[in-house]
């Protein structure tokens, strides 16, 4: 997809906004410490991807995540101009989504922000482990996207596969970092919550982007070129 289409940027804005409202909103509403909270939150994020894939997928490709856009850029599925515009639209959409959540909830609820409090260790060790966790989770997520979208015949099931993969990485990651795998999703809520969430948001920008880059170059090396 190489298009300088303003409609695609609007679609990315809407999709990322919806992701934050329903994904982070579910985490905020029911919490992740209650029984079933992990699964409910994981499925909320995954189901948003499914819904958006089948609604805006034909308009923008439904990246709604700078890490996904980076993986596609590395594999020349999107140009640098579109990449920059997509990321801007995604971040703005996430901020809008977080703003909507702020109307519903107090900032003290956390608004579904990511954090490192549950990551084992302390100090630099804890930060490094959080980066590694986010890197691995994003690697799996982006690699799945690159794989399932590599063949046109997978078009009808791609949204479902991608959504379920996001559920998968959330099931493991929620109890550790809250699962970002998406810099925009982390930036939006952190701006409204501030404090430690904003202080540590760089981890949830760097980790996912590094994981995406590794996935992108891995797929470029081993992906089916047929």
Q: Which of 224, 208, 202, 225 is nearest to 71 (CA)?
A: 208
CA dihedral 145, 151, 154, 155 (to 10 degrees): 80
Q: Would 77 be classed as within a structural domain?
A: yes
Q: Which of 79, 123, 86 is nearest to 9 (CA)?
A: 86
The CATH number that applies at residue 29 is 1.20.1080.10
- Longest Cα pair distance anywhere in the chain, in angstroms? 51
Q: Please, which residues have CB within 8 angstroms of residue 172's CB and are 6 or more apart in sequence?
A: 137, 179
Domain range enclosing 28: 6-222
Question: Which residue, chain included where needed, has tokens 């608004």?
Answer: 111
Q: Which of 22, 47, 65, 56 is nearest to 185 (CA)?
A: 65
Residues lower than pLDDT 70 in the chain: 1-4, 32-35, 224-226
pLDDT attached to residue 152: 86
DSSP state of 20: I
Q: Would 36 be classed as within a structural domain?
A: yes
pLDDT attached to residue 2: 44
pLDDT attached to residue 155: 84
Q: Would 1 be classed as within a structural domain?
A: no
| Residue 217 token pair | 């170059």
Q: Would 137 be classed as within a structural domain?
A: yes
Report the number of distinct structural domains present in the chain: 1
102-126 in b/e burial notation, b at 16+ Cβ within 10 A?
A: beebebebbbbbbbbeebeeeeeeb
């Amino acid at each position: 997809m190489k298009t300088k289409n303003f409609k695609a940027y609007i679609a990315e804005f809407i999709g990322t906004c919806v992701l934050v409202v329903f994904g982070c909103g579910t985490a905020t509403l029911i919490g992740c410490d209650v029984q079933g909270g992990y699964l409910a939150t994981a499925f909320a994020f995954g189901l948003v991807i499914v819904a958006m894939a089948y609604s805006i997928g034909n308009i923008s490709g439904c990246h709604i995540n700078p890490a996904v856009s980076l993986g596609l850029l590395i594999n020349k599925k999107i140009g640098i101009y579109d990449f920059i515009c997509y990321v801007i639209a995604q971040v703005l959409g996430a901020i809008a989504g977080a703003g909507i959540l702020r109307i519903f909830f107090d900032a003290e609820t956390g608004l579904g922000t990511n954090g490192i409090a549950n990551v084992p260790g302390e100090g630099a060790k804890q930060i490094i482990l959080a980066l590694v966790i986010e890197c691995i989770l994003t690697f799996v997520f982006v690699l799945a996207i690159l794989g399932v979208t590599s063949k046109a015949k997978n078009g009808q099931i791609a949204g479902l596969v991608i959504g379920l993969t996001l559920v998968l990485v959330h099931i493991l990651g929620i109890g550790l970092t809250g699962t970002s795998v998406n810099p925009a999703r982390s930036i939006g809520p952190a701006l409204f919550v501030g404090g430690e969430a904003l202080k540590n948001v760089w981890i949830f920008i760097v980790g996912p982007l590094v994981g995406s880059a590794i996935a992108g170059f891995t797929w470029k090396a081993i992906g089916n070129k047929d």
